[in-house]
Structure 1
Amino acid sequence: MKQLLMVFLGWVLGFAVCCAVAIGQESAKPAEVLPQFETRVHAEGESKLPYRLLVPKDYDKAHAWPLIIWLHGSGEIGDNNTAPIRPLGSTFLADKKRCPAFVMVPQCPPGDSWLGVGLNKPAEITEASRLVIATIAELRQEFNIDDRRLYISGFSMGSCGAWDLLSRYPNLFAAAVHIAGPPGDRPGLAPIIKHLPLWVFHGDRDNTAPVESSRTIVAALKEAGSNVKYTEYRGGGHELARPLAEPDLLPWLLAQQRTEPADFTQQTVPDSASLITKTLPDKTRGTWKGPAERTRHAVPSLAIDNVRYRLKAASHAKPGVEEFLTKIGQKEFNGNVQLTGTIELTKQAWILVEEIEAK
């Protein structure tokens, strides 16, 4: 279980690094990709959330219409307002004829994520996710949207973000769809969201997100009394096409409806339902040994007590430290090291390395 948790946290914490290298990082104007989606931006001062909006084919203000929110994975982080809709082209989410609902596809800005991981304490809602909620509220003012039928869905990081929003707004959404993105180690989450209709999808050979975590939350939900639906694809990897092609998914989703209007009040999330990484205290100085590894985003790292710390040279590092760390990041070195440094806790856990040697 500890090994699984470390893999999951390493995957989640990598999102912030991915923000800097995501394919959608360029600031070009959107190309004519899926032009049925309107190009929009929600702005609050200097905070901006690009998003695309699919308006139902037969929209009529006289009737209330459901709204589906789709949260993309880490590969689409950026600000071009195009990357998040590219994978949706052949799905019902991009088809006005098949989908009688609004579809909102926001793009997580560079440097942010759909969910935060708290270091030794619960994380606050990320700015990107806060803006998603604000955009939903704004759309309700512009269109006749049925706030008893707001649906949250997502893939990979987007699915993780959807779990996080459910924990903070358990009475906002009518249903949720999670694809290849488990919530992580949150034993207190199931009782909070057991009343919600949920459909979880995962491939049993997903090498990016651990399927065991999806199995764990589904089991916890069922034990809590939830009617959660779970589809696991034998031989399936990290993919969204197959779940979105399920013929029963859209009818099931649109059939879900809250008995009460949506509640936009953010709830306090208990520690047991939060994603918290227990690290060494900030400013701890010490010497540690272990296998140095490169993260999936080419950052050198070292695991201490099942928590992976990213490595960077201290301002007063000995000669050769920066070069050694570069070799780890470029996979030119793969082995055990001994290093001395100081813990630095920001959005992620770092060690400011003063000296390092192979062991």
Structure 2
Amino acid sequence: MLSLGVRQLDEVLGGGVEEGSSIAFVGSIEYDNIILMHQAVMEALKAGKKVLIVDFRQPPPTLLKELKNHGIDYRPFLNDSLTILDGYSNLYGQTVQSGENILPNPLDLGITTAIIKEKLQKGNYDILVIDDLTSQYTLQSNPKSYIKAIVRLTNSVKSLGKFTFVALYADVFDKSSLATILIPFDYVIEVSREVVEIKRSPKPLRVIEPRFSYIRTNRGIRLKKELYQSLEGLKAQLQAGKNGTIWIKDLKTHRIQIREEETERSLIETVYDFLEFEKGKELLYVWGKKQFIGYGEYSKRHSTDIKEALEDLFKFTMASGGGKLELVELSDSVVIIRGIDLFPSGRGYPYPLHPNYAGALAQFLTEFTGEHWEGEETKCEAMGAEHCEFVLRKVK
């Protein structure tokens, strides 16, 4: 299996893409599909693969400069495991260019595809990359002949047991041409308008909804879910508003407030003071459930493994300052979770300070499994225990 360089996509695909596959990265005007494709190429180079890139979109030096802005630096691999064929200069240059890695007449499809196949075999490359199919398509007097040539080239590369990566801008192709040019591709991955979606895979996918929100960064295409699982990623997304508010940049409904532990603890203590223990704990528990409405449903669309889903939730909790959660026991009817340094922390209080965590975890499990769960904080650091503990049980 070959990694695409994005952990969550690899997991959904069962570890990556299969050897000798053809992958089409379909995008729109922002060209984020091209960035993701080159991220996958970079991952392949790091894994020891030998790569031939055919560049029709811009001069190779410009391509290298553009990709470096997104954390993709091909220079250490050039003339060793990476070769770039220049298919641009003789399309648009004022004079005819010549050289070992310059295509003499890119518009002559017969000669061009013959040169590519010969170079691929003689150089013993593992992967053919075409950046991109759209620029050539727009220049063809007979687009149908071009599509047939691409289909033949892709299938011939596949017959050699080698990978083919291509990028294309879907909006330029009419509906039938787009469907035809995608015929030989085993995987079709659409990267457009801040969503990555796996549209085709030769194997069943591990999730119900293979769609993931992303942002473009100086480290390439990053899935939002992964960004919010680290403190650095979360901090990078915070943005101060002019009116004194703080927002997560790409989630317009998520407003953030920095809270002191003393203030949070005072709020919880006030709930207990006014409602007394049992009713106060019940209110805090329901508060936690309400805060987590929708989280389990979202996770269920992107993961089928409950352990994996809980561990992702724990990463988000730690990154957002909630403390450390660890899975102690997992069965069909009981889940036990340990908490360390949960927010708010403190010692010397007679009641548990984190019933809202128990409610949130119960809500998450209920949505993820489709069965009813209830939970309780059975140990709390505030009451003198070494750690907090949450016991969640399935309710029949």
Short-chain TM bin: under 0.3
Higher strand share: 1
TM-score (norm 2): 0.22
**TM-score using structure 1 length:** 0.24
| Bigger-Rg structure (1/2) | 2
